[in-house]
Structure 1
Amino acid sequence: MNIAISEKSASKPKTIAEAYVRPLNSLELLSHREISQLLETNAEIFQQFRQCALAVLNTGSEIDDAAEMLAQYENFDIRVIPQSRGLKIKVFNAPASAFVDGKMIRGIQDHLFSVLRDIVYTHHKLNDSAKFDLSCSHGITDAVFRILRNANMVKPNLGPNLAVCWGGHSISRKEYDYSKAVGYQLGLRGINIATGCGLGAMKGPMKGATIGHAKQQNRKGRYMGISEPGIIASESPNPIVNELVILPDIEKRLEAFVRLAHGIIVFPGGAGTAEEILYLVGILLNSKNRGTPFPLIFAAPETSKDYFVSMDRFIRNTLGEEASKTYEIIIGQPDRVAKRVKKGLERVHSFRREQQEAYYYNWRLHIPIDQQEPFEPSHENMRNLKLSRELESSDLASQLRKAFSGIVAGNVKAYGIEQIQKNGPYQLQGDASLIAEMDKLLQEFIQQRRMKLGVETYKPCYEFITDA
């Protein structure tokens, strides 16, 4: 690995003064021109790379605020060093927890170069080189596929066996243990796991699956982390992730989830989990996706069933009874959850075989461009969301998803927090009945302390205005 280390004098938190590290599984072979392009990337993207690299080096941290993490490691820095035989990275004042006996932990080392690959190299391909057509729906879907392929996430010789697990990073111990129990049952059945790569409900299923896979002597278990810059800069990956990809924005990240997934399990969470649910339910409500099997299960321990009682009520009261047919709710019974997922994957397998569709990427699923284009949660864009019952249910789900996306940004993403501090809370305007349902749901989230990790008294980053 060729790491040279000198340790900094004792301080809190403990850091390593300098370390050199080379790639293991990505970016091993780059031309001189490609390396120069990495070095020429603009300052904004390099700062994003620095934040995400620090988050990876701080794997296992429970901090969910990028500014707080940067403040703790204010002297952290990173450099890409070109060499004739490739490249290496030099880190300064990195978290000491990323090293063991003077060597960077192998998984963290791999993830560090995944960050470089996805933040810097992919940025060049997407923007500077104009390699992708992002002006149409098919072009965006193709871009997502090519980013995933570049990260070796799409594997053509595997049958449908990937369960995506969504849920909160700030959850109770009982919720975490339940997600781990479900993951264990999935692992026993040979099912691989993909999550948002953070803590809580993103870590639990992976941890459980490792044990299930081990008992079945399955040494090829996949624990895939799918993130985006604003999230990974705030929420470090969990230590179990063995494949990491960072999509350019939240919309491409969500598309990556649903096109890779053969089924999705949702555990209790907060506003971010509600955003993911609304995104997928909106897609499944689209008439072009009727008849396409897509297992979607909401799962919670008995003590947390209120989360999905609230979500189910909200979906029925805003999107209609038809929307409730897109998912199944299972309380407790981790083995039943896994059995239902397994049965759903068998349906997906049969359907794709009959339709001669790829197992590794769901090209068939129709995602409207409105749900693919990046939504910037500025104060103006948040206020201009059309929260109206006049919309088709799938379109209304898209608008509601964007509203929750903005709330997530205002809670945990650096630029969102800065906007709230500067301009006050986001304003959400719409039909009085819709606004009332949103307010009721979010108040329940606040009461359940599901809005922001480590906050005793949550101050909303939003306020509601009803149409006359």
Structure 2
Amino acid sequence: MTATIDTSLPTVSAHIYPRGGLDVLSRTEVARLRDASAGGMHDLLRRCALAVLTSGSASDDPRAAQELYPDFEIEVLQQDRGVRIDLRHAPAMAFVDGEIIRGVAELLFAVVRDLAYTAIELTESRDLESSDGITDAVFGLLRNARILQPSDPNLVVCWGGHSINRDEYIYTKQVGYELGLRGLDICTGCGPGAMKGPMKGATIAHAKQRKRRMRYIGITEPGIIAAESPNPIVNHLVIMPDIEKRLEAFVRVGHGIIVFPGGVGTAEEILYLLGILLREENAHVPFPLILTGPTASAPYFEQIDRFLRLTLGEAATSRYEIIVGDCAAVAKRMAAGVRKVREHRIAQKDSFFFNWSMDIPLAFQRPFVPSHEAMAALDLHHGRKPHELAADLRRAFSGIVAGNVKEDGMRRIEQFGPFEIHGDADMMQSLDALLRAFVEQRRMKISGEYKPCYRVVA
């Protein structure tokens, strides 16, 4: 790598040569990444690259980095000996003494790798209209990213908010530490808050146990990465094309899931998973799900539990466990659950590295575009099958996430006003109370006053 440092601005211009983690790109792939015209990937590449170069940013405004670094540019060049990435006016925080930080470089290469794969393989060579085709596409992207490892089950997915208080963050670190002591690796959404804490705690435990191959996997998607830039601990980053494939990736690669306190994104994830687990086809598939936080967070989980009982019924409670204020108990229960997953996979002759046996219907896989019309048309009424209602509730929360932190969603709100969400009176009252609690507890945004992007209508 050769670099020149701008003295007038805290930026760096550099030529970077990938060292592993990025396969050689074809000329067609490079052309697609460079192409800024219709159908090109250049603008997407620029936004995702800027997100990883500002890794550790405290802002959750997806437009903040672009405003701070308006002159930033990235170009991918095909050379006979491989690939070269040219950066101009890149954030200086990604460099030390003119050299790009190694971990940041790895994340940058992952961006190029995944966007190139999505541009060529996923959009032109895959069946994205059938359930099996979408699952195969998820598998292909994860394999290309070298996420799938044929080893014993040990990967725990941790969900939770990017905007949590200090006590909750410390608790996530303590849980991560207990998981790490038991040899478990961590997968999160790759951002700050509850996505960073478990990884940070696990690093200490893995060092104590002298574990040499640690996996801190971050799974994100283009619409969210700019608002939740990868935390510095992530050593395997994969960018899925949309939120639905991102959620499926969590379920396919994880052997259990722990949910920490969070906001609408966390509620979306809970509803997605429960909607799948409540299907008859998945009734006998073991998949440990634990909701946990410090003692002070007990009211948060009580409210989540009430909402789930009201909307999805009492049967939903059999698929999750709530443990408050006991990090060691969480890790012990998860480790025991992962052992049951291992036994089931052996009995069913299913792979350890990809959960083929979990049935995920097309309704949970099709991308949902949260327009005002689509949000108002969601069928949030009693009398539906729990997994069908869960699918629409998940979409409602997904729309609010888009209105909060995704550029397209934010533009829609600015242009047309808040989304309207309609449904049965008791369900809407419970939803409104839950969302108001998220706002009051500052779970919607890291900083600044939150202006709701939604309106609940009974």
Report the 3-state secondary structure (helix = DSSP H, G, I; strand = E; otherwise coil) of the residue aligned with 1:81. Answer: strand
SS in structure 2 at match of 1:259: helix
Aligned with residue 184 of structure 1, among 162, 177, 187: 177
- 1:436 Cα shift? 1.0
Worse-superposed segment, 79-88 or 257-266: 79-88
When the two structures are superposed, what TM-score results if normalisation uses the length of structure 1?
A: 0.96
CA deviations on 1:304-329 (whole Å, 9 max, x unpaired) are 12211110010011111111111000
| Partner AA of 1:364 in structure 2 | S
Q: Distance in 2 between matches of 1:412 and 1:39?
A: 26
Measured against aligned partners, the alpha-carbon deviations of 1:44-88 in whole angstroms (never above 9, x if no partner) come to 531111011000000110111121110011111111112111111
Structure 2 stretches lacking a partner, 5+ long:
none
Check whether the contact 2:51–2:230 (CA below 8 A) recurs between aligned residues: yes
Deviations 1:163-204 (A, max 9, x none): 000000111111111000000000000000000000010000
CA shift for structure 1 position 36: 3.8
Are the counterparts in 2 of residues 63 and 234 from structure 1 also a CA contact under 8 Å?
Answer: yes
Q: Which moved more, 1:27-36 or 1:280-289?
A: 27-36
1:122 equivalent in alignment to 2:118: yes
Distance in 2 between residues matched to 1:401 and 1:411, nearest whole Å: 15
State the match for 2:79 in structure 1. 83
Residue 166 (structure 2) pairs with residue 173 (structure 1): yes
Which of 158, 162, 165 is matched with 2:155 structurally? Answer: 162
Aligned to 1:286: 279
* One-letter code aligned to 2:451: K
Q: Aligned to 1:325, what secondary structure does the other structure show?
A: helix
Give the distance between the partners of 1:292 and 1:246, measured in 2 at CA: 27
2:265 to 255, 259, 272: 272
The answer for the alignment partner of 2:127 in structure 1 is 133
Question: 1:464 matched to which residue of 2?
Answer: 456
Partner of 2:363: 370
Provide closer, same or farther for how the CA distance between residues 303 and 449 of structure 1 changes in structure 2, counting only shifts above 3 A: same
Closer/same/farther in 2, CA of residues 10 and 32 from structure 1, 3 Å limit = closer
Cα displacement (A) at 1:24: 2.1
Partner residue, 2:200: 207
CA distance in 2: counterparts of 1:379 and 1:69, whole angstroms: 27
Determine the C-alpha separation between the residues in 1 that align with 2:44 and 2:5: 26
**2:15 matches 1:20:** yes
Q: Is the 8 A contact 1:264 1:295 kept in 2?
A: yes
1:5 alignment counterpart:
3
Match of residue 412, structure 2, among 419, 422, 444: 419
Correspondence for 1:385 among 378, 385, 398: 378
Q: Could you tell me how far 1:41 is from its partner in structure 2? A: 7.0
CA drift at 1:464: 1.8
Q: Equivalent residue for 1:431?
A: 424
Which residue matches 2:189? 196
**Partner Cα distance (1:28, 1:261) in 2:** 25
Name the residue aligned to 2:137: 143
Secondary structure at the residue paired with 2:89? strand
Within the candidate set 96, 99, 104, 1:100 is matched to 96
Number of the residue aligned with 2:347: 354
RMSD over equivalenced CA pairs, Å: 1.2
Residues 173 and 200, structure 2, Cα contact 8 Å, conserved in 1: yes
The amino acid across from 2:416 in the alignment is: N
Alignment of 1:60 onto 2:56: yes
> Conserved in 2, the CA contact under 8 Å of 1:203 and 1:238?
yes
Residue 407 and residue 441 in structure 1: after superposition, are their counterparts in 2 closer, same or farther (change >3 A)?
same
Amino acid at match of 1:235: E
1:254 and 1:208 map into 2 onto residues whose CA distance is 24
The match for 2:236 is 243
Q: Which deviations, in whole Å up to 9, do the C-alpha atoms of 1:87-133 show, x marking residues without a partner?
A: 11111111111011111011110110111111233222122xx2111
Confirm or deny that 1:304 pairs with 2:294. Answer: no
Matching residue's letter, 2:62 = A
SS of match in other structure, 2:63: helix
Q: Which amino acid counterpart does residue 4 of structure 1 have in structure 2?
A: T
TM-fit CA distance, 1:392: 0.5
CA distance in 1, matches of 2:369, 2:310: 27
Deviation track 1:278-303 (CA, whole Å, cap 9, x = no partner) reads 00011111111011100000010011
CA distance in structure 1 between the partners assigned to 2:212 and 2:364 by the alignment: 37
Question: 1-side partners of 2:183 and 2:168: how far apart?
Answer: 23
Q: Distance in 1 between matches of 2:31 and 2:167?
A: 50
Q: Contact 1:272–1:408 at 8 Å: present in 2 too?
A: yes
Distance 2:34 2:243 in 1: 26
Contact 2:32–2:41 (8 Å) recurs in 1: no
Distance 1:443 1:30 in 2: 48
Q: What is the rounded CA distance, in whole Å, between the counterparts of 1:42 and 1:62 in structure 2? A: 32
From 58, 68, 71, the equivalent of 2:67 is 71
Aligned length: 457
CA distance 1:285–1:71, shift in 2 (3 Å):
same
* 2-structure distance, mates of 1:28, 1:45: 18
Amino acid at match of 2:316: A
Change (3 A) 1:261 1:463: same
Q: Residue 128 of structure 2 aligns to which amino acid in structure 1?
A: L
> Residues of 2 paired with 1:88 and 1:385: CA distance?
46
> TM-score with structure 2 length normalisation?
0.98
| Residue 253 of structure 1 pairs with residue 246 of structure 2 | yes
Shift of 1:4: 1.9
- Whole-angstrom CA distance in 2 between matches of 1:142 and 1:34: 21
Matching of residue 222 in structure 1 with residue 222 in structure 2:
no
Q: Is the 8 Å Cα contact of residues 318 and 437 (structure 1) preserved in structure 2? A: no
